[in-house]
Structure 1
C-alpha cells in the first residue's frame, strides 16, 4: 500500500504538508477502518444550509475526516460545533475559521466544501484550486456565465477534482429515466417541460434595514457583492431572491431540473431564449427575482420550457416539480420521487412503463463518487464535473438574462456568447466590488 506521501503525489496535484493531523474521524466505528494512507481530510466553507448537509454526507464516507469549518457567522459556527459534538466523541481538534483564505492555508486539507451563497462560489472555488485542494462546490456553480467559464479554466489549469453539488446525477432513478428517453420509445420528442411550484416559499415581506447581528462579519459576507446596509431578507437562506447574490428559483431549482432536460435531449446551448413573467403573486414584496416565470429555450426540432411559481404547489401532472419529455408515443414524467410514462391514447399498451419510485440517497452517493475519483484520479468518472455544472448554470442564467432585459436573446454558438454586444457587456460577467476580482487564469 502506498504511503500518505505517495497518495498525495499521485493525485492530480500536491496539496502540500503532512495530512495526518488530528481531525474528527467520522468513521471510527467501522469494523474495517480505512488505512491512514487512504484517508481524506475535508473542510467546509459556509455551513449554515446545504454546506452542512454536505458535511453530514461526507462523514458517512469511509476514510473522510472533518478537519476544519469556516463561516462568517460565529453563531453558525457555534451551532455546528454543537451539532458535530452529537455525532462524534471529540471535536477539540477541528479548526474553526471566519476567513476562508486562512482555511485554505491549512496544509493538511485535501478537499473543501463550498456551501456559501452563490456570489462567492467562483472566487472560492478558484482560490481553493490554486491552494491545491479538491473541491465540492454547491450549485449553481457560478453566478454569471463568465464566472462559470473562469471556473472551468481553473480546473483545467490546476487539474484538481471538482464535483458540483447536483446530487440528482447520482440517483439511480434519474439515470434510468434518461436511459428510457434515449431508447427512442417515446417517439419524436417535441417539447420538454420543466417546472417548479413552491407552495412552502411565500413572497418576502418588506423589512427595514437593521444593525448587523452580533457575531456576523457582514463585510466578509458581502465580499464581491455591492455594499448595502444589512437587511435580514438578504441574509442566510433568503439571499436567493436578490440579484446581487443569486438568481431566484431559476438558478436555485432550475439547475437541478433543467440539467435533466439537457441530458435527455443531449444538448447544451439553445438558439434563442425568451421569457414572460414577473412579481405577480405579490408585486410589493421584497423579492427582486420573479415569483412567476416562463422561459422558452428554442432548439432545432424541439423546445425546452421552464415554468416556476412561488407560493403555488399545483404543478404539472399533479407534481410540484418535475421534467416531462413529451413525445409522439407518450410522455415521461420525472422528479425526485420517481418516474413513469403516460402513454398517448392512440398508443395504448405500446409504451407502458409504470411508476418507478426513487430508492436511494443521491447526496450520499454523490459524495462517495467524489471521494472515489480523488483516490482513483479518473476524472471522467465524476457524476457532475465542473464543465457540466457550468453548462447548466449558464443555461439557467440565459433565462434570467432574457427576463431582466425583456429581450428575445439570440445565442452565437461560434463565439459562445449572445449576439447582442450590449447584453454581453452588462450581463455576461458579474461585476465585482469592494476590491475583489477573479484571478486571471
Structure 2
C-alpha cells in the first residue's frame, strides 16, 4: 500500500469506511422539513421496548408519519400513544390485532418489535399486504421461519431491513474496510465473546393471573399454550425456546454477523461444534444455557464464540467484542471503538502494518433506520436484507439446536436446509404453530 494512503487511514480511518460496499445515509438528509405527501406512513407492531426505540428513530428523521400503534398490552399501547403525541405531535390509531392494522392501504411500512416467535407471521402478512418491513433481530425464532421470510421478501418484492444495526455502524464499517483492503493480511480467525448478567435468566416466580389490560392468549399466538408467568413475559421472554434463543440469539446474532460479514457470507454454517451447559450455581428460570463455546470452521478461516452469562467481564476489559486475527495485524472492536495492532516483521525490523485506532463510535440504530427509509424511496436492497438476517440467525440457532438435542457436532446442508447427521435436530428446524395460527406459506 502506498505511504500516502496508509497515512490517511492512520489519521482518520475514513478511507476504510469508503472501502465498504455499504453506505450510511447522513442524518442531515432527513433533518429538513418534508411535505406530508413526501413522508413515509409507518406503523409499529409491538410497542414496549426495542420496537418503540426504533419508531423514535424513524420519527426523529422528520420524514415519517406514525399512523398506527399495535400491542396486546393496552397499558403499554396507551402510554406509547401519549408519548408519540407529546413528543412528536402525532395522533396514532390504536390496535390490539395487527391484522386489522395491515388492512389499511395508507400504511407504507411496518416496524415489527414483537417477541421473536411473532416475527415471521407478521412479516409475511405485511409483505402480502404490500408493506415494507423493518423487523427486529433475530429475523425469526427458527430456521424454517427465516427461510419463509426470505422467500416472502422476494415474492412480494418488498424492502426489508433486519434490525442488525451494526451493519451501519462506523466502527464495523471501518473494520470491514481494513480487512477487505488487506490491511491485516489474510484473515485466519475471528474470536467473539459476550458476557452479560441478564443472560442467566430470571429468579423463579410462581405462575400468576394475567395482568389487567393484557391479551395473553394473543401474546402467545402460535407458541404453545402455557399458564401466565411473569418470567415468560415482558423483558425476560427471550430465555425460553417458545419465544427466543437466550443470549445466543440476542447478542450472538449481532456479533456473529460481524464474523460472517468479514467474508461476505450469506449462508448457514456447514459445520458447528458446540459446548453448552448451565454452570452457574444459581437456580434460575430459563430454557437457554448460561455457558457456551462454539466453533464455526469456515473454508479459509474459523469463527470462535465464547459466552458466559452472569458475569460482566471479558477480554480486553470489555464484556463483549470481536477480535479479527490476520497474518499482518489483529483488530479488536466493539460498537464504540477499534484498534489495529500490527505484527512485527523481524526481517525488516518494522511493523507489518500501520497501527490504527478509533474511539468515537456510537450506537447506529438511527443510521440503520436512515438506510431503511432511503431504500423505501429507491427500492434498493437494505444494508441488512433477509438473506443476511437469515445467515446470522442460523449461526445462532444451530448451536442452540445442537445443545438442545445433545449433538456436539452438527453438519448443515444450506441448499437443502437440513442437518445431514442428526434427524432429531431436523425436528427443530420448523415450528408447529398452535391452532388457529398457521405457519405462513409462500
Name 1:367's counterpart in structure 2. Answer: 369
CA distance in 2, matches of 1:376, 1:60: 20
How far off its partner does 1:87 sit?
A: 0.5
* SS of residue matched to 1:42: strand
* SS of residue matched to 1:101: helix
Name 2:301's counterpart in structure 1. Answer: 302
Name 1:255's counterpart in structure 2. Answer: 253
Deviations 1:311-367 (A, max 9, x none): 211112221111111123221111111111133355763323232124455111111
How far off its partner does 1:416 sit?
A: 3.5
Moved >4 Å (runs of 4+): 345-348
Show structure 1 runs of 5+ residues with no match: 1-29
CA contact (8 A) 2:43 2:66 kept: yes
* SS of residue matched to 1:410: strand
Q: Does 1:320 align with 2:319?
A: yes
Q: Does 1:338 align with 2:340?
A: no
CA contact (8 A) 1:77 1:96 kept: yes
CA contact (8 A) 2:199 2:247 kept: no
Residues 346 and 206 of structure 1, relative CA distance in 2, 3 Å threshold: farther
Number of residue pairs matched by the alignment? 408
TM-score relative to the length of structure 1: 0.88
Name 2:231's counterpart in structure 1. Answer: 233
What is the aligned-residue RMSD (CA, Å)?
Answer: 1.9
Name 1:35's counterpart in structure 2. Answer: 35
Name 1:71's counterpart in structure 2. Answer: 71
CA distance in 2, matches of 1:52, 1:95: 15
Q: Does 1:54 align with 2:62?
A: no
Which of 211, 214, 222 is 2:212 aligned to?
214
Deviations 1:165-222 (A, max 9, x none): 1111111221110111112232333221111111355542111000001010000000
CA contact (8 A) 2:159 2:380 kept: no
CA distance in 2, matches of 1:31, 1:366: 15
Name 1:418's counterpart in structure 2. Answer: 419
Name 2:114's counterpart in structure 1. Answer: 116
Name 1:356's counterpart in structure 2. Answer: 358
Show structure 2 runs of 5+ residues with no match: 1-29
Residues 54 and 414 of structure 1, relative CA distance in 2, 3 Å threshold: closer
CA contact (8 A) 1:140 1:393 kept: yes
CA distance in 1, matches of 2:109, 2:240: 30
CA distance in 1, matches of 2:387, 2:414: 16
Q: Which of 395-404 and 114-123 deviates more? A: 395-404
CA distance in 1, matches of 2:428, 2:337: 36
CA distance in 1, matches of 2:388, 2:167: 11
How far off its partner does 1:412 sit?
A: 2.3
CA distance in 2, matches of 1:440, 1:203: 34
How far off its partner does 1:414 sit?
A: 4.5
CA distance in 2, matches of 1:361, 1:317: 20
CA distance in 1, matches of 2:340, 2:387: 30
CA distance in 2, matches of 1:417, 1:113: 30
CA contact (8 A) 1:226 1:434 kept: no
Deviations 1:257-297 (A, max 9, x none): 11010011333333311211211123531111001111111
CA distance in 2, matches of 1:317, 1:31: 38
Residues 419 and 200 of structure 1, relative CA distance in 2, 3 Å threshold: closer
CA distance in 2, matches of 1:384, 1:194: 20
How far off its partner does 1:120 sit?
A: 0.3
CA contact (8 A) 1:225 1:434 kept: no
Residues 358 and 130 of structure 1, relative CA distance in 2, 3 Å threshold: farther
Residues 228 and 31 of structure 1, relative CA distance in 2, 3 Å threshold: closer
Q: Which of 264-273 and 202-211 deviates more? A: 264-273
CA distance in 2, matches of 1:87, 1:341: 42
CA distance in 2, matches of 1:33, 1:303: 48
CA distance in 2, matches of 1:352, 1:278: 41
- Superposed, which structure 2 residues align to 1:135-146 within 5 Å? 135-146=133-144
CA distance in 2, matches of 1:113, 1:144: 20
Residues 358 and 417 of structure 1, relative CA distance in 2, 3 Å threshold: farther
CA distance in 1, matches of 2:257, 2:360: 18
